[in-house]
Amino acid sequence: MRILDMATFVALARNRHFGRTAQELNATQPAISSRLSSLEEEFGCRLVRRGDREFQLTPEGERVLQGFQQVLEQLDELKNAVKDGNLGAPPLVRIGAIDSVVSTWMSHLIESLNESMPRLRVELTVEGTKDLVSDMGRGKFDLIFGIDPAIGEGFRSFVACVYQMIWAGAPKLIDESKAYAVDELAQMPIITFPKDTPPYTHIAPYFQDERVLASKMTSSNSLFAIISLLIDGFGIGAIPTVTIERELDVGLLRRVNVAKRFPPMPIICTYQTTMHQKITHHVAEHARRSASEYCVKARDGTAWTI
């Protein structure tokens, strides 16, 4: 039994798709099918139920998957143990996160990981949720933190924390003495994330529920760019309170009193369980604790865990 065949089966179980597996492993779909057939012939049973619309491991396939995962992880540990004069290469965890996490408790997480695993290397990438989920499915990340989870075999998710969302804008745009109705907000310039992104899907229903549409929208895929545009008075935006506390405190931004509250934003951690299970579980638990500790210290009502 070849290591290549074991790695192929683990990737296939994670992707749940022959084409995506072939792309990840830089192989052809017939090659992936051939490797699977070789494994099934060796084990003498079906490992995968093949259907037009559904990919599913058989009970035997589930047991084989667990065994292959353990073998491949042990091989990785063995490689690290004998590499570089028996010192071992530092383990690597690849983390993807949205701006709202990076600007709040990500530094606490990295500091916590440095204390618990001094040799662990952290590779951090900042992207939008849509790209994070897509790249997670292609095996680019070990963990991601975004608004939506990555769905698939071998992925586990949990809500790390929840952020309060408020409407905010430059003082010159906001009348503190009034509570703005939804149709009044819709007449103001809105700064938001691009269409077809998870943050935008939170914005649009806010207006559509009241059967009004925002008259003017400016979009950016960067939270920090949106905050800068808000400070410069280009419009108002719905944004996590914890990301603009300093700007609110010094008067660069002002909270908009609204008749209809904006729904809170969950921060969801998704981590993969098919490879490097000990490390990813360790990082996921530290992320859970870091988010919880951050929420405890945050101002009342701005961030919490569930």
pLDDT value, residue 52? 60
| In the chain, ranges of CATH 1.10.10.10 domains | 3-82
| In the chain, ranges of CATH 3.40.190.10 domains | 92-163+265-304, 165-255
Residue 247's closest CA among 218, 226, 219? 226
Architecture of the domain whose range is 92-163+265-304: 3-Layer(aba) Sandwich (3.40)
Partner residues linked to 251 by β-bridges = none
pLDDT category of residue 167 using cuts at 50, 70 and 90: very high
Is residue 236 a contact partner of residue 226, using CB atoms and an 8 Å limit? no
Query: What phi, psi does 203 have (nearest 5°)?
Result: -75, -50
pLDDT value, residue 275? 64
pLDDT above 90: residue 7: no
DSSP run (H or E) holding 304: strand 303-304
How far is the C-alpha of 143 from the C-alpha of 98, rounded, in Å?
Answer: 12
pLDDT above 80: residue 215: no
Q: What is the mean pLDDT of the chain?
A: 87
Q: What is the DSSP string of 274-297?
A: SSSHHHHHHHHHHHHHHHHHHHHH
pLDDT above 60: residue 85: no
Query: Hey, CA dihedral for 138, 144, 145, 149, is it positive or negative?
Result: positive
Global pTM reads 0.73
**Domain 3-82, classified CATH 1.10.10.10, yes or no:** yes
How far is the C-alpha of 159 from the C-alpha of 205, rounded, in Å?
Answer: 22
Is residue 28 a contact partner of residue 22, using CB atoms and an 8 Å limit? yes
pLDDT above 80: residue 235: yes
User: What six digits make up the tokens of 43?
Assistant: 């084990």
For domain 165-255, the CATH class is alpha beta
Residue-wise pLDDT tens digits, 239-295:
999 999 999 999 999 999 999 999 999 999 999 887 667 888 999 999 999 999 999
Is residue 305 a contact partner of residue 162, using CB atoms and an 8 Å limit? yes
The amino acid at residue 20 is R
